[in-house]
Amino acid sequence: LPESFLSFLEANGLDPSIYIPRYVRLKPGFEEIESEINCKLEKVNWLPGFYSIPPDVHIARTKAYQQGMMYGIDAASGAAVSALGISPGDHVLDLCAAPGAKLCMMLDLLGQKGTATGVDVARHRLAACRTMLLKYGLAERSRLFLADGTTFSVPPTRFKQWTSRRPYKERKQEAKARAEIIFYGQGSGVIGLKKNELGYDKVLVDAECTHDGSIKHIQKFEQWGWKTLERRVLDAERTDTNLKALQLNLLRNGFRLLKEAGTLVYSTCSLTHAQNEDVVDQFLSENFSAELQEIEMAKDWPCRSGRTPKTLRFDPSTSATSGLFVAKIRKL
């Protein structure tokens, strides 16, 4: 690792030599697959359905993965989804959905009731998300939109009162610019909500970030070049200004789409304060109807408190996971 990144880790209290296992999540009903993947699964006691595996096991080659029994997803990312407290019947929005592992977990938690809407700005990544939904048999109650998460405004329903009185052609053109439907499952539409009930029950804003807490992402710079890391990850101007503005706007829009008494989770896989606590603190200061909540289930999680009370941080040295910041917000 370059000296600049070692200094970055040291400033955040992290040991670069820490051993990080890989994690998988098994689809409900498929717990016995050790003989198939030819290794021992270690159950993650604090997160149902998650297991750690040796880092040299290639799950993509196994039948369990190819047949849609197993997902590759870090345990910290699973914790962010769990923090939403999804219940069957909820209408859930994943505002930065691709490549889709968290969206699939949402749909597994919903079961046969409720819907999940995924939004992403990258077409190729959203195509991968659609492939994943179909592979795991979760497409029926889901829909995907190619859109800017900071301006996306499609509610979880097809409801006449939501539209304006402007000419149909004008509204159609605006909608096309705002969000392109990539996939629409047969059971993903909702009809019959009252106007004041419009909005999502749960919203996940796993925002775009520098990914400096993701071990898997950092390893890519061995091929891309460590100078590229300094420009794309450690550059203070990009981290503190441009990305923070994007993250704040994603959080604002996710909260706008949340129904009253609904729950939003904001997360990033960055270790910096600028992309995490600073964003949440600024958002709370301008939204008096937003209340930061304790994540009750986190009492059993191997994480530490963030700088802002009630927020959480996963990191290699504390959690044996990739880095992840999590904040849970309720709309009053």
The 10s digit of each residue's pLDDT in 209-240 is 887 777 666 666 666 676 677 666 666 555 56
Q: What residues make up the domain containing 262?
A: 1-20+75-331
For residue 30, pLDDT beyond 70: no
Q: For 261-295, how does the pLDDT look when each residue is reduced to its tens digit (9 = 90+)?
A: 999 999 999 888 989 999 999 999 999 999 999 99
Band (pLDDT 50/70/90 cuts) for residue 174 is very low
Question: In the structure, what pLDDT confidence band is assigned to residue 326 with cuts at 50, 70 and 90?
Answer: very high
CA distances from 297 to 48, 81, 82, 103, 164 (A): 12, 12, 9, 20, 41
Q: What is the CATH number of the domain that holds 285?
A: 3.40.50.150
In a domain? residue 35: no
305 within domain boundaries: yes
Q: pLDDT of 125-142, one tens digit each?
A: 999 999 999 999 999 989
Among 71, 74, 56, residue whose Cα is nearest residue 315: 74
Cα 71 from Cα 74, distance rounded (Å): 10
pLDDT confidence of 192, banded at 50, 70, 90?
very low
**Does 294 fall in a domain?**
yes
> Which DSSP category does 300 fall into?
G
pLDDT over 90 percentage in the chain: 50
Catalytic site positions? 269
For residue 177, count other CB atoms closer than 10 A to its CB.
Answer: 11
Average pLDDT over residues 88-105: 95
Task: Round the average pLDDT of the chain to a whole number and report it.
Answer: 82
More confident residue, 306 or 187: 306
Q: Which residues are annotated as a binding site for S-adenosyl-L-methionine?
A: 120, 148, 206
**Structure pTM?**
0.83
Pairing of strands 258-268, 324-331: antiparallel
Tally the domains of the chain. Answer: 1
Contact call for residues 178 and 132 (beta carbons, < 8 A): no
- Give me the amino acid identity at 95: L
162 or 99, greater pLDDT: 99
| CA 266 to chain CA mean position, Å | 8
Rounded distance, CA 300 to CA 294, Å? Answer: 13
Q: Report if residue 38 sits inside a domain.
A: no
Confidence of residue 4 (pLDDT cuts 50, 70, 90): confident
Looking at the predicted structure, is the pLDDT value of residue 105 above 60? yes
Is 39 part of any domain? no
Domain-embedded: residue 47? no
The pLDDT of residue 281: 98
Q: Which residues are annotated as a binding site?
A: 120, 148, 206
The two structure tokens encoding residue 227: 């100078």
Whether 310 contacts 328, CB under 8 Å: yes
Angstrom distance (rounded) from CA 81 to CA 109: 10
* 3-class DSSP assignment, residue 20: coil
Query: Per the domain annotation, does 26 fall within a domain?
Result: no
Q: Find out whether 327 and 308 touch, Cβ atoms under 8 Å.
A: yes
Average pLDDT over residues 8-19: 63
The C-alpha angle with vertex 324 and arms to 128 and 227, in degrees rounded to 5, equals 75
Per-residue pLDDT tens digits for 240-256: 668 899 999 999 999 99
Average pLDDT over residues 157-173: 45
Domain-embedded: residue 312: yes
Closest CA to 78 of 241, 329, 297, 272: 297
The answer to whether 281 and 266 have CB atoms below 8 angstroms apart is no
**pLDDT surpasses 70 at 19:** no
